[in-house]
Amino acid sequence: MSAVLVINSGSSSFKYQLIEMASEQTLASGLIERIGETTGASTHKCRDAAETFTRDLPIPDHTAGFAIMLAAFEEHGPSLAAHPPVVVGHRVVHGGARFYEPTLITPQVERDIDDLSELAPLHNPGALQGIIAAEKAFPDVPHVAVFDTAFHQTLPPAAFTYAINADLAERYRVRRYGFHGTSHQYVANAAARFLERPVGELDQIVLHLGNGASVCAVRGGESVETSMGMTPLEGLVMGTRSGDIDPGALFHLHRKAGLGIDDLDTLLNRGSGLLGLTGHGDMRDVVDAAQAGSAQAQLALDVYVHRLKAYIGAYTAQLGRLDVVSFTAGVGENSDVVRRLALEGLEVLGIRIDAERNAARSRQARVISTDDSPVTVLVVPTDEELEIARQSLSLASAD
């Protein structure tokens, strides 16, 4: 039996999951948070215990966080001696143009991840802190980095190039990278498996709609177009991010409203999207408010869906044909309202949704299109941790 430990680390918190790979079951998961603050907190859930164990205590740094995680395994199970991880898989947000596959972590890879912090200042430094601390906690097993951008390294130049000065773009690595790659890859493969079709034969659109949201066009199992760009700000309307906006609007806000670069960064990343439009960043609140008659919430929902439809149409055109559309992540898996509004009127693209199937609730992958729909529409729960574990184990086993 082999287990894989998956780490998703940010600068002030990390999540972990121990997965038994023969059954692909999660044995335990947890969260270490508020690292470096006066009081930190830890949560640990063992599959075999009903309870979730929580503790408040100071966690000065990631190394201390890993000591707390190890103590939680010791105290609440499962025993790491009985399920020793054979590899530790790390989620890393930005792999730039350098990383296109899961990569064994070496000192050089750590330097490269550090170098890419320039492109992902909010994400890569925290991932690196997690990697360094995890290496101390598990010195005898390989550590593998799985990059959110890697799946999109198959994007053709026409899709990843911004139409700006070419020298400037090259010097500062300004291009589209795309994100959520691990989820898009997992869902595209899961959809093919569910339909019992080789992924190589399918043209798919994956809609990852969580707090962050992105669309991916997948041809033959490879990403050929995606809606996030150089950063996770481009594309769809998200919980707190604006998605696409005319850059000219930012020049205007700078000149007329006196907003500086940092103000605009905060405005677009944290104060826009559903939150900016309604005061609620959570889609459940927006749908509830719209149903209760709020015109502003209805407008936010309309803007969200309008953008989604535009991307579905554009990506169908890019692919040239379409077999499968899959919805995933918090909104995609749970909101029948968003799914219905996004697909309504798309019969012209061969998409026919079945109202009853769409409204049914389930945690399993399922079809929500009609039997005669030329395009099959699915809801496929994503599992980024499992995908990281699979890719890490596969790389470690190949070595």
- Calpha distance 210→381 (Å, rounded): 11
- Calpha distance 215→293 (Å, rounded): 29
Report which residue's Cβ sits closest to ligand ADP: 330
Residue 4 annotated as lining a ligand binding site: no
10 binds ligand ADP (CB under 6 A): no
Whose Cβ is closer to ligand ADP: residue 142's or residue 276's?
Answer: 276
Closest distance of CB 119 from ligand ADP, Å = 20
229 binds ligand ADP (CB under 6 A): no
Residue 181 annotated as lining a ligand binding site: no
The one catalytic residue among 112, 148, 203, 336: 148
Whose Cβ is closer to ligand ADP: residue 135's or residue 282's?
Answer: 282
Among 85, 95, 96, 239, binds ligand ADP (CB under 6 A): 239
Residue 165 annotated as lining a ligand binding site: no
- Calpha distance 353→359 (Å, rounded): 10
DSSP structural state of residue 349? G
Q: How far apart are the first and last CA of the chain?
A: 18
Among 85, 212, 232, 276, binds ligand ADP (CB under 6 A): 212
Closest distance of CB 334 from ligand ADP, Å = 3
- Calpha distance 92→90 (Å, rounded): 6
Residue 339 annotated as lining a ligand binding site: no
What is the footprint of ligand ADP within residues 257-286 (CB under 6 A)? 282-284
133 binds ligand ADP (CB under 6 A): no
222 binds ligand ADP (CB under 6 A): no
Closest distance of CB 8 from ligand ADP, Å = 10
- With tokens 């690196």, the residue in question is 128
Q: Are 41 and 24 in contact (CB under 8 A)?
A: no
Give Cα 76 distance to the centre of its chain.
29
Count of residues that interact with ligand ADP, criterion CB under 6 A: 13
Site string for ligand ADP, 191-210 (x = CB under 6 A): -------------------x
Closest distance of CB 342 from ligand ADP, Å = 13
Element (H, E) at 284: helix 283-291
DSSP structural state of residue 48? T
Provide DSSP, 95-154. -TTT--S-EE--HHHHHHHHHGGGT-TTTHHHHHHHHHHHHHHSTTS-EEEEETTGGGGG
Which range of residues in 41-49, 148-156, 260-268, 327-335 is near ligand ADP by CB under 6 A? 327-335
Among 130, 235, 273, 330, binds ligand ADP (CB under 6 A): 330
- With tokens 């936010």, the residue in question is 300
Q: What letter represents residue 30's amino acid?
A: G
CA 31 → CA 42, 60, 121, 268, 307, distances in Å?
6, 15, 22, 28, 34
Q: Are 208 and 332 in contact (CB under 8 A)?
A: yes
Residue 282 annotated as lining a ligand binding site: yes
- Calpha distance 391→116 (Å, rounded): 22
Residue 330 annotated as lining a ligand binding site: yes
Residue 91 annotated as lining a ligand binding site: yes
Active site residue 148: yes
Among 7, 120, 275, 331, binds ligand ADP (CB under 6 A): 331
181 binds ligand ADP (CB under 6 A): no
Task: Provide the annotated active-site residues.
Answer: 148
Q: List residues forming the annotated binding site.
A: 8, 15, 91, 208-212, 282-284, 330-334, 384
Q: List residues forming the annotated binding site for substrate.
A: 91
- Chain residues binding ligand ADP by CB under 6 A are 210-212, 239, 282-284, 287, 329-331, 334-335
